[in-house]
Chains A and B, each alone.
Chain A
């Protein structure tokens, strides 16, 4: 018996279980993709079909051209908002994390402990006051409302601080002897050594924001600023009753950009998610 057979034999339960799990993950997507190519009549039929008898592109065409649906705009908005938010988090949190990790100043520990405590406060408490602030600032329905309110990301500061602390301080001391300022030590020594942590945080923050629904839902109300998840709720409430395949095609189309990113950066994403997830421990 060759090695391959024996490995398959010995680990048969693992293979079988993973195969079932893969089916569990893929089947809903397959059905949704397949039904995106069906007509209304074909979808509303029992028993349901897995393969369309006469595949049609009508649903995809309609969902992309309907006046009140702008998947292209929503995707653009999502990308602008999530990118803006990610940049804001990195710009705001990394210097703060550096100060906590490396600089001595009165109140360092007390301030950090205070931030630790605030992590226990769920973000929903801030929803109503921040919504009213957005209204008063005339920021409702602007990208500012999507980017800035969550930018002081305490978790980001924790993650980066933990990482910065591990960087040997000899490197910075050498830079000091070369005349580096605090900014120079941060910018030229610590940040270049932290690309892994910064990328991991960026991925985590970007994906979280890209998929967020509640906040974008309450602060946006025009095609110009609505994000993709908000758009999908409109697609659902306006068309799900009559045009199911079209709604499914919209849902499927909405996943394509993120799947492309995932296919390209799968290793980095998996590693980044694990790293940030474990840092929370």
Chain B
């Protein structure tokens, strides 16, 4: 029966004809056809891949060796005793904390400034978002030279403040802050836009009421803006944590993980294991461990963000 037949029947019959079981089945078949392309790709490149990764992590799977013996949880035991993994994890955590805090402060300040009734709002928004559009390659190549210890512009600017040349990318204590600064420059535009949207969602009458009560700008910020911005703030920080935990390009391009292993990150290490040492089984174990860590962080995100705020 074609859909066209429906309109030729009387209105009393229409309800019956529109919902006979066969139409329900038709709808389900249509739904599965609509879903099919997505589900096929999803099954191959996500479900199969995740299952395969977990499976591989129990094998000594090296790309150059045909024998791939089952080793149980040996890869995970090795990982637990692998100093480089712990160094990489620690570096990743400190990089993430610095970057998320820095990014959030810069982005929130920028959003607060841009949403004042000033001229050039659109211009500043467009300009400050711009670095986010660049690839990590371009950002890395530009900043690695700015941070150069001998001829870099950052040291030159600091020299006017009486600061002696700093070996940003060569000093184990400074390399992560330097990469973090680069990343803040690159990425604060996106959270800024999210904060702007969040600020615009705060009802104007709350501000008016506060002003009538004689609150100053600082009080308004702490008592009204910040509490009402909490969902946005949590969204920005937790998605930031997840994004920056996957950092790889900046150390890859700017420091090769150095000096020593001071800027090894988890994904950088994963790359080394799987694509320079070709240890796919151990690499899979690293990836699974990373997934567990990040899943825990995402669950925390869901817990926080599901708490909504009432005006």
Q: Is there an interface contact between A105 and B137, defined as CB atoms closer than 8 Å? A: no
**A128:B126 contact, CB within 8 angstroms:** no
Q: Given B3, B118, B197, B231, which contacts A15 in the complex, CB threshold below 8 Å? A: B118
Partner pick for B4 among A15, A179, A182, CB 8 A cutoff:
A179
For the complex, give the distance between the alpha carbons of A96 and B31 in Å: 8
Q: Are B185 and A228 in contact (CB under 8 A)?
A: no
Inter-chain contacts of B152 with A (CB < 8 A): 48
Question: When the two chains form their complex, are residues B41 and A128 in contact, meaning their CB atoms are under 8 A apart?
Answer: no
Point out the residue from A95, A126, A127, A230 that lies within 8 Å of B35, measured CB to CB.
Answer: A95
On whether the beta carbons of A182 and B156 are closer than 8 Å, the reply is: no
> Separation in Å of the B43 CB from the closest CB of chain A?
8
Interface status of A266 (Cβ within 8 A of chain B): yes
Interface string of B244-269 (1 = CB under 8 A from A): 00101100110000000000000100
Q: Is B81's beta carbon under 8 Å from chain A?
A: no
User: Is A255 engaged at the interface, CB distance under 8 Å to the other chain?
Assistant: yes
Q: Is the beta-carbon distance between A148 and B41 smaller than 8 angstroms? A: yes
Pick out which of these stretches binds chain A: B70-78, B107-115, B166-174, B219-227: B107-115
| B50 in complex: contacting residue of A14, A121, A176, A236, CB < 8 Å | A121
Instruction: State whether B113 touches A182 (Cβ < 8 A).
Output: no
Chain B neighbourhood of A211, CB < 8 A: 133-136
* Interface flags, A98-133, vs B, CB<8A=1, else 0: 111001111010010001001111101111111111
Partner of A236, one of B113, B141, B267: B141
Q: Say if the beta carbon of B53 comes within 8 Å of chain A.
A: yes
The interface bits of chain B over 133-167 (1 if a CB of A lies within 8 angstroms of the residue's CB, else 0) are: 11111101111111000111100100100000000
- Interface residue? B49 (CB, 8 A): yes
Q: How far is the CA of A274 from the CA of B56 in the complex (A)?
A: 39
Q: Known interface pairs A127-B287, A182-B30. Does A258 touch B137 (Cβ–Cβ under 8 Å)? A: no
Whether the pair B48, A129 counts as a contact (CB closer than 8 A) is yes
Say whether B299 contacts A120, CB under 8 Å: yes
Q: Are B37 and A270 in contact (CB under 8 A)?
A: no
Q: Is A25 an interface residue (CB 8 A)?
A: yes
- Whether B34 contacts A182 by the Cβ 8 Å rule is yes
Structural contact, B3 and A18, CB atoms closer than 8 A: no
- Alpha-carbon gap, A252 to B138, bound state (A): 7
Determine whether B117 belongs to the interface, using a CB cutoff of 8 Å to chain A: yes
B196 within 8 A of A: yes
Beyond A105-B31, A126-B45, is A278–B194 a contact (Cβ under 8 Å)? yes
Q: Quick check: B156 and A48 within 8 Å, CB to CB?
A: yes
Known interface pairs A104-B24, A128-B274, A181-B3; A274-B194 also in contact (CB < 8 Å): yes
State which residues 138-181 of A face B: CB under 8 Å.
148-152, 154, 157, 176-181
Q: Does A35 contact B (CB under 8 A)?
A: yes
Q: Which residues of A sit under 8 angstroms from B196, Cβ to Cβ?
A: 274
- As a 0/1 sequence over residues 278 to 305 of chain B, the CB contacts with chain A under 8 angstroms (1 = contact) are 0010011001101100110011000001
Is A31 a contact partner of B146 (Cβ separation < 8 A)? yes
Are A96 and B52 in touch, CB under 8 angstroms? no
Binary contact track B1-41/A, C-beta < 8 Å → 1, others 0? 01110110000000000000000100110111011011101
Q: Is the CB of A193 closer than 8 A to any CB of chain B?
A: no
Whether the Cβ atoms of A129 and B142 lie closer than 8 Å is: no
How close is A235's CB to chain B, nearest CB, in angstroms? 7
A200 at the interface (CB under 8 A from B): no
- Give B30's nearest chain A residue, CB to CB: A182
Given contacts A125-B287, A211-B136, A229-B136, contact A96 B109 (CB under 8 A): no
In Å, the complex CA distance between A240 and B140 comes to 12
Tell me if A270 and B129 are in contact (CB < 8 A). Answer: yes
Q: Could you tell me if A179 and B117 are in contact, using CB atoms closer than 8 angstroms?
A: no
| Interface residue from B24, B52, B138, B294 paired with A232 (Cβ < 8 Å) | B138
Are B38 and A148 in contact, with the CB atoms below 8 A?
A: no
Encode contact with B along A29-40: 1 for CB under 8 Å, 0 otherwise. 101100100000
Residue B193 at the A interface, CB < 8 A?
yes
Contact across chains for B137 and A228 when beta carbons are under 8 A apart: yes
Q: How far is the CA of A192 from the CA of B48 in the complex (A)?
A: 34
B149 to chain A, nearest CB (A): 11
Q: Are A43 and B133 in touch, CB under 8 angstroms?
A: no
Cβ contact within 8 Å between B130 and A25: yes
Q: Which residues of B contact A51 (CB under 8 A)?
A: none
Residue of A118, A244, A255 with highest tally of chain B CB at under 10 A = A255
- Bound CA–CA A111/B31 (angstroms): 12
The yes or no answer to A44 lying at the interface (CB within 8 A) is yes
Q: A105-B27, A157-B38, A274-B193 are in contact. Are A213 and B49 (CB under 8 A)?
A: no
Known: A100-B35, A277-B194. 18 other contacts (CB 8 A): A11-B116, A21-B106, A28-B153, A95-B34, A96-B39, A115-B42, A120-B294, A126-B46, A126-B49, A129-B50, A131-B274, A176-B6, A182-B34, A213-B248, A214-B248, A232-B137, A254-B137, A281-B235
The 7 sampled A-B contact pairs (Cβ below 8 Å) are A25-B185, A179-B2, A229-B135, A262-B130, A270-B193, A274-B194, A280-B239
Residues in B lying within 8 Å of A, measured CB to CB: 2-4, 6-7, 24, 27-28, 30-32, 34-35, 37-39, 41-42, 44-50, 52-53, 56, 106, 109-110, 112-114, 116-120, 122, 124-131, 133-138, 140-146, 150-153, 156, 159, 185, 190, 193-194, 196-197, 231, 235, 239, 242, 246, 248-249, 252-253, 267, 270-271, 274-275, 280, 283-284, 287-288, 290-291, 294-295, 298-299, 305
